[in-house]
Structure 1
Amino acid sequence: MKPLKTLLAGSLLTLSLLTHAADKPQPIHFGDITWESGSLITEILRTLVEKGYGYTTDTLPGSTVSLEAALAKNDIQVIGEEWAGRSPAWVRAEAEGKVFGLGDTVKGATEGWWVPEFVIKGDPERGLAPLAPELKSVADLPRYAHVFKDPESPDKGRFLNSPTGWTSEIVNSQKLKAYGLSDSYVNFRTGSGAALDAEVGASIRRGKPVLFYYWSPTPLLGRYKLVKLEEPPFDAEAWKTLSDTNNPSPRGTRSMPARLAIGVSAPFRTQYPELVAFFEKVDLPIDLLNQTLGQMAEKRLQPKAVAQAFLRDHPDVWRAWLPADVAAKVSGSL
């Protein structure tokens, strides 16, 4: 028979563990991000959380705007790819201590307005002559509206915006006003990130001019020769007018410098210090990420399968984010 002191100590330990577990509600809800890099990063994080730390996770769908609102309410706990500081909703929630952006997960990320290189330089191998040889800046777009002719409004050009519900869609719509392009270009919103990819990719393969918003990390920027149009230098006050859909007089500026982070809710930050420490160390090399995303798109692979392969093939990347015992559990599961 065990001594009373030993039994009591064991009971207290069991009670402590049960209380500790009760403080950590499961499953952990991740935002179901619809663009490729966000989907892949989410699945990489979920796999490490589940296999390394033993927590269950799931995903809940929503647009960027709705997911940020849900994070602030702790209806979800994690957004795997948060462009921190972009939206007024995020800035407000962060100032109120409701959300936190952890780490600097993908260095060198960018976004802007792009055209295929052949639109400016031509492509002799494909028999394509330059269509807008002096196009360098958004300021040049009014005189080249006919080059990017909208099939439904042929007297105007077409600008391919982000899907409705993305923060960037608001910014781009405001930029069209700020650059004086509302009368000469149709603000065309694709139904999804995949639809935007399909529209841009099909136009480039057919040698057709296309003007579109895009960002990196993505497979598209690694697959085609593209030119990013110049915009005015970044101005923080002008940016506020672009991110506010109700501002009647937006002022033009290039997008604010990108900082990709892992967004978490305040309760999550308190309840899961070991995951917070892990998230703060995540660092995905952008070239490797773009290459992986390109393979995912070309082979039409599911993000979860690609995440598993990425973790198997690149332990040198992710093992540095985790304690040794946690990393060993992940390796064993793979």
Structure 2
Amino acid sequence: MILKSGGIAAAMAVAFFSVSSLPTMAQDEGAAACGTDRTIDIAEMTWPSAAALAHIHAKILEAGFGCDVAIVTGDTVPTTSSMVTRGSPAVAPELWTSTVQDQWDAALAEGSVVALGGAITDGTIEGWFIPRYTQEAHPEIVSAETAIANPSVFPDPEDSSKGRIYSCPPGWGCELATTALFDAYDMSGAWNLFSPGSGGALDASIARAFTREEPILFYYWGPTAILGKFDAVALDMGETLPEVYACNTDPDCNEPAGVTAYPSSPAIVGAAAWLQEEAPVIAEYFTKVGLTNAEISELLVYGDENQADAAATAENFLKTKEDLWSGWVSPEVAEKVRASIS
């Protein structure tokens, strides 16, 4: 077919318009699916579970919903303050509110933030643990008290006349709580409280004991790769007494140390209020993304065993745990995510 010069110019104009408008149209479609053309910045906290969750959600929002996503460095206190005052980051996928409770409650009341759901559906874990094989050999040891009554089951390698309990690393808040419980249980006569020196040293001590199938009594918390990798049993520590725990963890508290279980800190998906207003589909997505302690600990094992960073750990989760994350989204969104990682 032969076109007149005017027709050629018109055809070229149409072609140019079609090609040049494609990125804008794609962006508009993405914004429509996402609900907002604003960047959704997600806080990558400094601990492994929260970091992995940040990358999991970033991938799903970007590939599945077409959102403009950014991952930003975060930590509990500064992230909360910035979210409250600036509306950024938009999402904190594992926010432990107990350490910022007053500020968080005030922000909820004034409407600058929202709690979209539980990040860890069965709550965080903190306490004293023993290997399951040790409990099977000594079925009477089911609580802190029964463990304390059997120091010979957990002999100190450097002083076999006493038992050894592995404490929380020095400088951490849990070190104060564990030391206070050691005093409250009056353990010094038959036990040694061992400081591991660092989190890595504590992990190494636990791994060595499990590998050799040796008994060990240790402080730990979850969700973590250690609890995902090794079959550890949490000992019954009785009732949680908030006032006693507060005193046990306060260096300036003059009261004698008391016996209390460690509290289970709520871990939520916290978000700036604008996200719910501008992108209700994304806000709804975050109401469905809760995982159990065991599920999060399991996903962290991959990163620990393969020395993988948070992004690689997240990608492995998306590839191997589709039965979990596909329930958070529609089949259409799931297919887009699946295509992006295949």
TM-score by length of 2: 0.67
Structure-1 residue corresponding to 2:205 = 199
Instruction: Write the distance in 1 (CA, Å) between the matches of 2:157 and 2:77.
Output: 28
Q: CA deviation at 1:114?
A: 0.5
Structure-2 residue corresponding to 1:97 = 107
Asked whether the 8 Å contact 1:29–1:59 carries over to 2, the reply is yes
Amino acid at match of 1:137: S
Does the residue aligned with 2:156 lie in a helix, a strand or coil?
coil
Asked whether the 8 Å contact 1:148–1:211 carries over to 2, the reply is no
Amino acid at match of 1:95: D
In the TM superposition, what whole-angstrom CA distance separates every residue of 1:276-299 from its partner, at most 9, and x where no partner exists? 222111133555544433344333
Structure-2 residue corresponding to 1:33 = 46
Structure-1 residue corresponding to 2:340 = 333
Count the aligned residue pairs: 301
Structure-2 residue corresponding to 1:125 = none
Does the residue aligned with 2:227 lie in a helix, a strand or coil?
helix
Instruction: Write the distance in 2 (CA, Å) between the matches of 1:44 and 1:291.
Output: 14
Asked whether the 8 Å contact 2:60–2:337 carries over to 1, the reply is yes
Among candidates 235, 238, 241, match of residue 229 of structure 1: 235
Flag the 1:191–1:177 CA change in 2: closer, same or farther, 3 A: same
Among candidates 126, 129, 141, match of residue 114 of structure 1: 129
Structure-2 residue corresponding to 1:254 = 261
Q: CA deviation at 1:163?
A: 6.8
Instruction: Write the distance in 2 (CA, Å) between the matches of 1:242 and 1:47.
Output: 41
Instruction: Write the distance in 2 (CA, Å) between the matches of 1:260 and 1:40.
Output: 15
Pairing 1:81–2:91 present? no
Does the residue aligned with 1:92 lie in a helix, a strand or coil?
helix
Does the residue aligned with 1:96 lie in a helix, a strand or coil?
helix
Flag the 1:202–1:142 CA change in 2: closer, same or farther, 3 A: same
Once the two structures are superposed, the pairs formed by residues 106-145 of structure 1 within 5 Å of their partners are: 106-109=120-123, 110-119=125-134, 122=137, 135-140=141-146
**Structure 2 gap ranges (5+):** 1-24
Does the residue aligned with 1:103 lie in a helix, a strand or coil?
strand
Flag the 1:211–1:42 CA change in 2: closer, same or farther, 3 A: farther
Flag the 1:313–1:225 CA change in 2: closer, same or farther, 3 A: closer
Instruction: Write the distance in 2 (CA, Å) between the matches of 1:119 and 1:231.
Output: 18
CA RMSD of aligned residues (A): 4.2
Does the residue aligned with 2:195 lie in a helix, a strand or coil?
strand
Q: CA deviation at 1:142?
A: 5.2
Instruction: Write the distance in 1 (CA, Å) between the matches of 2:119 and 2:264.
Output: 14
Instruction: Write the distance in 2 (CA, Å) between the matches of 1:236 and 1:46.
Output: 36
Q: CA deviation at 1:169?
A: 4.9
Q: CA deviation at 1:30?
A: 0.8
Amino acid at match of 1:264: A
Moved more, 72-81 or 203-212: 72-81
Pairing 1:186–2:193 present? yes
**Structure 1 gap ranges (5+):** 1-13, 123-129
Q: CA deviation at 1:310?
A: 2.4
- Greater fraction helix: 2
Q: CA deviation at 1:189?
A: 5.7
Structure-1 residue corresponding to 2:301 = 294
In the TM superposition, what whole-angstrom CA distance separates every residue of 1:205-240 from its partner, at most 9, and x where no partner exists? 234443222234434334434332221223444444
Q: CA deviation at 1:112?
A: 1.8
Among candidates 318, 322, 330, match of residue 325 of structure 2: 318
Structure-1 residue corresponding to 2:58 = 46
Structure-2 residue corresponding to 1:8 = none
Asked whether the 8 Å contact 2:303–2:312 carries over to 1, the reply is no
Pairing 1:276–2:289 present? no
Instruction: Write the distance in 1 (CA, Å) between the matches of 2:260 and 2:140.
Output: 21
Instruction: Write the distance in 2 (CA, Å) between the matches of 1:111 and 1:292.
Output: 19
Instruction: Write the distance in 1 (CA, Å) between the matches of 2:44 and 2:179.
Output: 25
Does the residue aligned with 2:253 lie in a helix, a strand or coil?
coil
Report sequence identity in percent: 22
